[in-house]
Structure 1
Amino acid sequence: MTSTTSQQELFRFLEDRFACAQACTECARTCALRASLVDPDGTEQQELLRRKGIMCAEVCDATCRVLSEDNRLDEAGIRVQLEWCRTVCLESAHVFDRHPGAEETAQACRDCARACTDFMATLS
């Protein structure tokens, strides 16, 4: 029989996992939208913004899939995926911070990075 403490830890784990997956989904949506608004024939800075948006959306989407599916990744594999997502999100937020109008995207990236960090803390 499972103790109350174990049940509470499981609930927290699942809540944090779900919150992280939601943050990844929101970040992927926001980054994909931002990438679609940038003129692909624009300046080098616009191209960087577009590429970062696409890359961040893809990494967040992959992370969400890892967290949402009953996959066979062990804890170490999940941790690597979360760290990759966190790093890409922080790098992307830094790029978006330098572009007027991309504040919402930068914040979504920071929120996702924070959710990845929080969820990693629940892993043993």
Structure 2
Amino acid sequence: MLRPGYPHHVTTPTSQQLYRFLEDRFACAQACTECARACAVRASLVDPDGTDRQERVRRLGIMCAEVCDSTCRVLCEETRQDEDEIRIRLEWCRSTCLECAHAFDDQPGAEQAAVTCRTCAEACSEFLQSLM
């Protein structure tokens, strides 16, 4: 029996694969939470009346925080989920985090936020692999 929201190789709720899958899912959700927090803090430090470049960084930080937060909520839901929907959400989160990390690279004092974004992108990639 294939369980909705789980990868194809996880068929029974007692399998070791299921536990590993849930651990990976939780690790990804946790990385998303940390990234959302870091991006929100970083975006709040950027002057909203600054240059166009600063405004872009601020908007990317806000968008990344929102995408990571919503991805975390999807990963934490216990309801039946479509695996394709989860894949799309993870890919969106991964690409947004990478874009935000690149924007933070050019900002003084944003190094840790950029690292957090890359860590989240990596966690999304790893979880995507577990769905294959």
Does TM, normalized by the shorter one, top 0.5? yes
Aligned counterpart, 1:108:
116
Shift of 1:73: 2.4
CA distances 1:20-78 after superposition (whole Å, capped 9, x unpaired): 00000000000000011111111111101110100000000010000011233211110
Question: Is residue 46 of structure 2 the alignment partner of residue 46 of structure 1?
Answer: no
Matched length: 120
> 2:80 & 2:41 partners in 1: Cα distance?
31
Question: Is residue 94 of structure 2 the alignment partner of residue 86 of structure 1?
Answer: yes
Superposition CA RMSD, Å: 1.4
Question: Is residue 39 of structure 2 the alignment partner of residue 31 of structure 1?
Answer: yes
Higher-helix-fraction structure: 1
Which structure 1 residue ranges, 4+ long, deviate > 2 Å from structure 2? none
Aligned counterpart, 2:74:
66
Q: Aligned to 1:55, which of 63, 77, 83?
A: 63
Unpaired runs of 5+ residues, structure 1, are: 1-5
The alignment-based identity, stated in percent, is 68
Amino acid at match of 2:121: A
Question: Counterpart of 1:121 in 2: which secondary structure?
Answer: helix
Q: Aligned to 2:84, which of 53, 61, 76?
A: 76
Unpaired runs of 5+ residues, structure 2, are: 1-13
> 1:90 & 1:118 partners in 2: Cα distance?
14
- Give the structure-1-normalised TM-score: 0.92
Amino acid at match of 2:124: C
Amino acid at match of 1:20: C
> 1:120 & 1:71 partners in 2: Cα distance?
19
Question: Counterpart of 2:54 in 1: which secondary structure?
Answer: helix
- Give the structure-2-normalised TM-score: 0.87
Shift of 1:98: 1.1
> 1:65 & 1:114 partners in 2: Cα distance?
18
